[in-house]
Amino acid sequence: MKKIRLNDKQWTRLLSLPRIPIRERDIPDAPRSSCRLSSHGLIASDSAGREYITDQGALRLSQGR
């Protein structure tokens, strides 16, 4: 995965979101938030509008700031 450059606000937001529970990982039509983090697939929203970190987001977090 390409390391997407995040500003301080985006990095803090990514750190603050919960990771998606394993049982919900394959939500096929999860609505997306409209922001840079979601456009890169780092976060998504569930049907209730709660944002969570996707697998790609977790990978980006593991790459460090």
pLDDT at 33 over 80: no
Claim: this prediction has a pTM higher than 0.85: no
Three-state SS for 4? coil
Query: What whole-number distance in Å separates Cα of residue 8 and Cα of residue 59?
Result: 18
Q: Which residues pair with 53 in a beta bridge?
A: 19, 43
Q: Residue 8: its pLDDT value, please?
A: 92
> What is the per-residue pLDDT across 40-57, written as a single tens digit (0 to 9) for each?
888 888 878 888 998 889
pLDDT at 27 over 80: no
CA dist 63 → 1, 27, 37, 56 (Å)? 10, 25, 15, 11
pLDDT at 39 over 80: yes
